[in-house]
Amino acid sequence: MDCINYYIYIITFHIQIKKFGYENQLPVTHTCFNSIDLPPYSTYHQLKQKLTLAINEGSELFELS
């Protein structure tokens, strides 16, 4: 009977979130640095709407800047 070894890896990382930009801008991510630049949105609804839009639009395109 073969013995099967299972390995479980737990990887933790930190994401840095900082206030940056203007309220009419979308959030910006810097994946190399695990950081998100969030504009100072005035309401939770606006934050959720802009973040959702950025995630959906970003899933279609990946650019190097």
Q: Strands of the chain (E only): list them.
A: 16-19, 28-30, 35-38
Alpha-carbon distances of 46 from 3, 17, 41, 63, 65, rounded to whole Å: 54, 17, 6, 25, 26
DSSP 56: H
Domain boundaries in the chain?
1-65
- Which pLDDT score, from 0 to 100, does residue 17 have? 85
- Which pLDDT score, from 0 to 100, does residue 22 have? 92
- Which pLDDT score, from 0 to 100, does residue 10 have? 78
pLDDT digits (tens), the chain, 65 positions: 566 777 777 788 788 888 889 999 999 888 788 888 999 999 999 999 999 998 888 766 666 55
Contact (CB, 8 A) for 32 and 14: no
Task: Return the active site residues.
Answer: 32
Residue written as tokens 């959030």?
27
* Number of other residues whose CB lies within 10 A of the CB of residue 14: 7
Architecture of domain 1-65: 2-Layer Sandwich (3.30)
Task: Give the pTM.
Answer: 0.62
- Which pLDDT score, from 0 to 100, does residue 46 have? 94
